[in-house]
Amino acid sequence: MDYYYDDYYDEYYDHPDQAAARLFHRDLSIEETIKNCVHPSLRFATQYITNFIAINLLFSVLVLIVRKVFPTAQRSLHLLSCVCGAALVYRVIDHGFYHFLQLAVSLYAVQWTLHRWLTGTGRYIKTPFIVIAYGIGNLLVSELLEPSPETWNRIRGTQMILLMKALSLAFDTDDNHSLRSQLTVLSYSGYILCPANIVLGPWISFNDYLTIWKPPAGIEPKQCRSPSGRRMLIHVFRIVTSALMAVGFLLTSNCMIDYLVAPINSWKWVRAYGRALSFRTSHYFIGYLSQCSMMAAAADWHRAEDERSIMLPVSSLYRITSPMAVEFPRSLVQVVTAWNIPMHLWLKRYIFRTTKRPFGTGTAIALTYIISSLLHGLHYRLWITLLTIGSWTFVEHEVRKKLATIYSACVLVGKCPSTCTVHQHKSNSVFCVVINMLFFALNIFNLIYLGCIFESSEGPPDEVQQDKSMFGPWTELNYASHWLLVFAYLFYFVI
């Protein structure tokens, strides 16, 4: 899971009148809420989203032109990616470039050195793990040396995406000499600066970057040059839908939740629910904007998935998050998976699977959550939150596995097929419905508890100076989820 997304629109709250509106619009009428919150949010969203769509559509059109005029000019595509990516970063971040530049250059230098001097040697530590250690160390030191916490909060996510790209590149090129031969300074720069995902993500592999803008195999050249009207309309519809979903979640996070919860916010759990939901919807805003950015930059409108439905398929490379799966979770594992799908795949592919064989499943899970935490930098609240989530996912998985074995029931963290032949009690039996509903309620409770510690309108605070209030929301809730976690762990041993 990752929580860096809300850092990008803090500038909306930098204006005193808008900050005041955020603080006081709870007591306003619906007309005043629209005037003081909805309208400013819409102005911000329009300006912010337009940058992503315009630059990425321009990039897509230029790629189509270059691909038509110079079919084999791969260097031109990398150069276009560099120019458009740099322009987008300048438009939406406009500061902190030196952090991005030094991390990108130094990561390439480290990988080049390791490939040149350590390739083929009987080394005990593999090259990717050296790159991980250097990259995370560089990230943490840079954050410590940055004098302005606000500046770092704005670039935190961009640095994280850069590091994820470089680390995946280290793994992919460690043993794949064919892919390594395609890694040049220009191709690396194009991959790192790709406008589709340089700012908000999502992560895509170097191989995906190299192939996503190539004409798909099996498609006639004439068809590639003239995409069908249906495919083009589907592509545009998906871009527009993603943009509208992003705006909707932004308005929900900024304005509607406070307005709707205000009449009953005297109860601490209602306040916690409002904070948590506001945080989650701010994440969905950036997730859908990232999805919109990816599709706007995609020059390939001929994928087989375009033929199936006007909606984006679940298996699509461009899908970032699944709000329904998060808001109505069967298990916390489902929340972790659906919160940020590309990052989940990255952690599973490069961290969990790589460490599972030598260290075992338990250690691999722990290392996965540790690496996920460190990728976010010095964000102590997030470290504790991810540690809690990791503990809960492990305990829930083991308890449900034991219950499924003892009672031969379909109560595992993953849903059993309708024709399950392993368990006697099927998913629609009263026993399974009751058990699954209890875990559903537990996961909703944890979504409230774990999310309320974050504010959608803040980046990570200067937490070293705020240790006393860092876990204030959890203190108000008497650390209920942590006590319940201890009870669940003891229950696991008892049964």
326 occurs within a structural domain: yes
Q: Smallest Cα–Cα separation from 128: which of 180, 82, 178, 78?
A: 180
pLDDT category, 99, cuts 50, 70, 90? confident
Do 335 and 186 share a domain, yes or no? no
Rounded to an integer, what distance in angstroms lies between the CA atom of residue 143 and that of residue 152?
Answer: 7
397 belongs to the catalytic site: no
The reply to whether 194 and 263 lie within a common domain is no
What percent of the chain lies above the pLDDT cut of 90?
Answer: 38
For the segment 388-405, what is each residue's pLDDT rounded down to a tens digit? 998 999 899 999 999 999
Same domain, 207 and 232: no
Do 278 and 365 lie in one domain? The reply is yes
User: Which tokens go with 122?
Assistant: 């009987």
Residue 389 lies in a domain: yes
Same-domain check for residues 257 and 168: no
Checking if the pLDDT of 209 tops 60, the result is: yes
Q: Does one domain contain both 415 and 478?
A: yes
Same domain, 200 and 234: no
Average pLDDT over residues 82-103: 86
Q: Return the pLDDT at 213.
A: 64
Per-residue b or e along 451-482, where b marks 16 or more CB atoms closer than 10 Å to that residue's CB: bbbbebbebbbeeeeeeeebbebbeebeeebb
Please indicate, yes or no, whether residues 202 and 269 belong to a single structural domain of this protein.
Answer: no
Give pLDDT tens digits for 228-264.
677 778 888 889 999 999 999 999 998 888 888 877 7
Q: What are 165-174's pLDDT values in tens digits? A: 999 998 888 8
Q: Is 123 found in the same domain as 178?
A: yes
- pLDDT averaged over the chain? 82
Q: How many independent structural domains does the chain possess?
A: 2
Cross-strand pairs, 409: 425
Q: For 333-346, how does the pLDDT look when each residue is reduced to its tens digit (9 = 90+)?
A: 999 999 999 999 99
Domain that holds residue 142: 73-213
Q: Which of 29, 139, 48 is CA-nearest to residue 91?
A: 48
pLDDT for 139 beyond 80: yes
Q: Look at the alpha carbons of 15, 20, 22, 28 in this order and tell me if their dihedral is positive or negative.
A: negative
Answer yes or no: do 331 and 365 share one domain.
yes
What was the pLDDT predicted at 63? 86
Distances in Å between the alpha carbon of 90 and those of 50, 87, 128? Answer: 14, 5, 30
Of these residues, 99, 235, 344, 376, which one is catalytic?
Answer: 376
For 356, the token pair is: 């599972």
State residue 399's pLDDT score. Answer: 93
Examine the domain organization and report whether 209 and 252 are in the same domain.
no
Task: Decide if 192 contacts 165 (C-beta within 8 A).
Answer: yes
191, 293: one domain? no
The mean-pLDDT minimum among 173-182, 340-349, 431-440 falls in: 173-182
Predicted pLDDT of residue 410: 92
